[in-house]
Amino acid sequence: MLYRFRWRKKKAKFIISPTYFKNNSFSITEQKNNDTSSKTVASNNPVQNIEKQENKTELKVSILENQPKISSLSLSSIKAKKELLEKQKSLVKDDVHLPTEHFTETQMLEQWFKYADRLGDKGHKIMESLMRIEEPILEGFKILHTLPNDSSKLDFDKEKHELLGYLRGKLHNHEITIETIVNETLDAKKTFTPLDKFNRLNEINPNLELLKKMFDLDF
C-alpha cells in the first residue's frame, strides 16, 4: 500500500514552450468572432423588431395624413350645383318667352288710374297724387310721365317699380318701361274727386257712361 501511495503523486504543472509547436509543424492562429451571427442574433431581437414596426406604422400614418382629404359631401354638392344650374337655365328660358303683347294708350291709362285708386284706398296719398298730376304718354312700350320738380321725381321713382310690375302684368307686356320727365312749369294738381276720376276714365272709355246709367251709379 505504501508503494502505491508513493507513486500517486500529483502531476506537475508546466508551460509548453512555443518551440514545441514550431518543431512539430503546429501553427497558432487568432480565431475571429463571427460578426454575422451576432448581427443575425441582433436582428432576431424581438424588442428591436417591435420598434421598427412601430416606426413603419407611424410613417404610414403620417403619409396618409398628408394626403389631400376628399369631402364626403363632394358628390352631393356637385349634384346640387347641377340642379341649381338647370333651374337657372329654366329661368332664363322663361325670361325669353315672357309675353310682349301689344296694347293701346287707352288700355295703359285705364290700368294707370286703377293703380292710383288702389294706392288711395291703402292710404298712399303722395304716390297717388304724383300719378294724377299729369296723364302719362305712351311711346311704343315706354311710358312718359311728367312731374313738376326733382323732389316729386325722386318720390315717384322710389315707388315706380311696383307700378311697373303691375302694368306689365295687367297689359301682358314685360318690355314696358317708365321714364320720368321734370317740367317745372307744370302746376301740381290736387287729388281728383270720385267724379273727376270718373270723368277722366270716361274720356278714355266712353262705355263707362253706359255702365253708369245701366246700374244707376252716382258720383
Q: Which cell numbers in the block locate residue 79?
A: 349634384
DSSP-derived pairing of the beta strands 142-147 and 177-182: parallel
pLDDT in single tens digits along all 219 residues of the chain? 444 545 554 554 555 565 655 555 555 555 555 544 444 444 455 545 555 555 555 555 454 455 555 455 567 777 777 777 777 766 655 456 788 999 999 999 999 999 999 998 998 888 998 999 999 999 999 999 999 999 999 999 999 999 999 999 999 999 999 999 999 887 545 445 666 667 667 767 878 788 878 877 765
Q: Which cell numbers in the block locate residue 213?
A: 246709367
CATH topology of domain 105-187: GMP Synthetase; Chain A, domain 3 (3.30.300)
For helices 125-132 and 105-121, give the axis angle rounded to 10 degrees: 160
Query: Would you list the domain boundaries of the chain?
Result: 105-187
